[in-house]
Structure 1
Amino acid sequence: MSHHVAARIARLFVYPVKSCAGIEVREALLTETGFDLDRAWMVVDEAGNFVSQRELPRMALIRPQLKLHDVVLRAPGMLALHLSIDTVEEPVRVRVWDDEVAAYDMGAVAAQWFTDFLGRKLRLVRFDPEHQRLSNLQWTGGAEALNQFSDAYPLLVASTASVDLLNEKLRAQGKPAVGIERFRPNIVLEGVEAHDEDRLELLHVATDEGEVQLKPVKPCARCPIPNIDPATAESDPAVADTLQGYRRNDVVGGAVSFGMNAIVVEGIDRTLRVGQAVSADFRFD
């Protein structure tokens, strides 16, 4: 079957710790909650509520690295923190947005590391894989799409053309260009026009193990995080201000949107790789 849109995967990102820096990868295993180890860990305050770059922009400077059995976290002025992927401590209940979920505390050493670097009493937790946290069924059309600690959906899809258009507008104002890393996508497409991702139906990805099908379900309403330079953790409102001029989206109540939240329809345990072909049809509604 031929589709109207022919694209390819240009970049892939995994974010092991919610709101910390991402890791660009050449390939990523697709699980029922999105990419393997994506948002598997989260930083919480003393009340068990998640914290993010919204209130703690220095989280952008915490850079994870995936090893065979460990996740290694590095930050300026800090010794590296090694987390064993298969080790947790006592069970806890934590809150991410409106959801209270089961998790595991990662212990005193990790808690002190985050507390020292971010200047607030914090702890690190790991998502309990036995817990089922669902995306909003109204947006998924009733499909039960699972998440770990992502904001609300398993995957975020964006395109190189979308950030290129933003950068054209920034440069026209004498502002520096920005990287797509600010928008924290999992999958970056090339070969589509700017913001075509907003109106694509099912994405068909050809993998060695068979087809993967991903369904974009909701525009991603943006908070101030794209204003934060991931290299310095400094914020400049130019990005949000520019997007306000052309990306207000009535579908999400007039908020600025950039990228599409997506769910996994088919292809769990298959591997996405940079360069793979992606085809889709446009949605007309």
Structure 2
Amino acid sequence: MLRVSQLIIYPIKSLGGIELTTAKVTDRGLEHDRRWMLIDDDNRFLSQREYAQLALCKVSVEDDGLSVTYTPDGSSIKIPFEPIKQDALEVTIWDDTCSGQLVSDEVDAWFTEKLGKSSRLVYMPDETHRQTDLRYTSEGMVTSFSDAYPLLIIGQAALDDLNSRLDEALPMNRFRPNVVFTGGAPYSEDLMNHIQINGLDFYGVKLCARCIMTTINQETIAKGKEPLKTLAKYRRKGNKILFGQNLALIGTGNINVGDELTVLSTHTEERFIVGSDAPTSAA
């Protein structure tokens, strides 16, 4: 039996994650997940890929907004759920452009000081609908300020298998999933097409290509060669290293740690088959 073992949100793109026991599923992913994003002077998103110190900004959700703490000096800033400013602007995430709302000058100044980089925080209002890639998803499926899709799922068995090949085990936070599950064979998430959790429908749409963010220690921002060096030996397809699957969704409601994950159909397309260790079943 497959069961949800972790639920994680990342309210501000590329900053620290928050583990939950219950998560509200919205039209664009888990509630609060990547609804905020830091941008530069060109309105382009900031990422740990270029600014590893973003990992040192730890986020918590409180009754009236977010709290962000910069761990090197322990200083914090409060971010209201409703932006103070009304200014909207077009922001860029990879090849996508969508509308974001500036939050406050005070918040911008705080992040600029901590990061040593001119930074502004934007919020995605409910009125912004960022369409997911129509090559892999249906019209009307949307996402927040995530890289491309509303959710990322990884099986604990996949991480356990990877760690069995490494000299030093790595935590799941290197891969920034939203949903982690136990049970099943390593990498069984690759083949998941239509799944249900607590009566809600999710659809596997694209295996997740991994980048140098996985090589950054989320507590110290030290960088290494793993896990990409090892994953490249058995999880490479073309010029991409794949680990986890991106999900789209239909419907809203709640999902919980401990919920059963039911696989209703599996992929048969070649693009979901990776290496000699590919699973033969998603169950």
Q: Which residue of 2 aligns with 1:279?
A: 262
Name the counterpart of 2:179.
187
Q: Distance in 1 between matches of 2:165 and 2:155?
A: 16
Structure 1 counterpart of 2:119, one-letter code: L
| Structure 2 counterpart of 1:49, from 38, 44, 51 | 44
Aligned match of 2:280: none
Matches within 5 A, 1:112-127: 112-127=109-124
Which residue is equivalent to 1:177?
169
Say whether the 8 Å CA contact 1:229–1:235 is kept in structure 2: yes
Per-residue CA deviation, residues 191-225 of structure 1 (Å, 9 max, x unaligned), is 1211100001211112xxxx111001000001110
Match of residue 211, structure 2, among 223, 226, 245: 223
Equivalent pair of 2:83/2:102 in contact (CA under 8 Å): no
Residue 261 (str. 1) matches residue 246 (str. 2): yes
2:59 to 41, 56, 64: 64
Do 1:71 and 1:84's aligned partners in 2 also have CA atoms closer than 8 Å?
yes
Q: Which amino acid aligns with 1:157?
A: I
Please give the secondary structure, in 1, of the residue aligned with 2:222.
coil
The offset of 1:254, in angstroms, is 3.1
Indicate the residue corresponding to 1:202 in structure 2.
194
Letter in 1 for 2:236: R
Unaligned runs of 5+ in 1: 1-5
How far did 1:87 drift? 2.8
- Superimposed CA distance per residue, residues 149-186 of structure 1 (whole angstroms, 9 cap, x where no aligned partner): 00000000001011111111103xxxx11011110000
SS of match in other structure, 1:215: strand
Asked if 2 retains the 8 angstrom alpha-carbon contact of 1:137 and 1:144, the reply is: no
- Which whole-Å CA distance do the structure 2 matches of 1:88 and 1:222 have between them? 35
Secondary structure, counterpart of 1:163 in structure 2: helix
| 3-state secondary structure, aligned to 2:218 | coil
The answer to whether the Cα contact below 8 Å between 2:151 and 2:248 also exists between their aligned partners in 1 is: yes
Query: How far, CA to CA, are the matches of 2:212 and 2:84 in structure 1?
Result: 32
Q: Select 2:153's aligned residue among 153, 157, 163.
A: 157
Q: Which residue in the other structure is 1:26 paired with?
A: 21
Cα RMSD between the aligned structures? 1.2
CA distance in 1, matches of 2:113, 2:162: 36
1:117 is displaced (CA, Å) by: 1.1
Task: Note the 1:8-23 alignment, pairs <5 A.
Answer: 8-23=3-18
Q: Normalization by structure 2: what TM-score?
A: 0.91
Q: Which moved more, 1:29-38 or 1:94-103?
A: 94-103
| Distance in 2 of aligned mates of 1:115 and 1:86 | 21
Aligned letter for 1:125?
A: V
Cα contact 1:103–1:126 (8 A) shared by 2 = yes
Give distance in 2, aligned partners of 1:136 and 1:87.
Answer: 28
Question: How many residues are paired up?
Answer: 266
What TM-score, normalized by structure 1, do the two folds share?
0.90
Q: Would the aligned equivalents of 2:24 and 2:30 in 1 still touch at CA under 8 Å?
A: yes
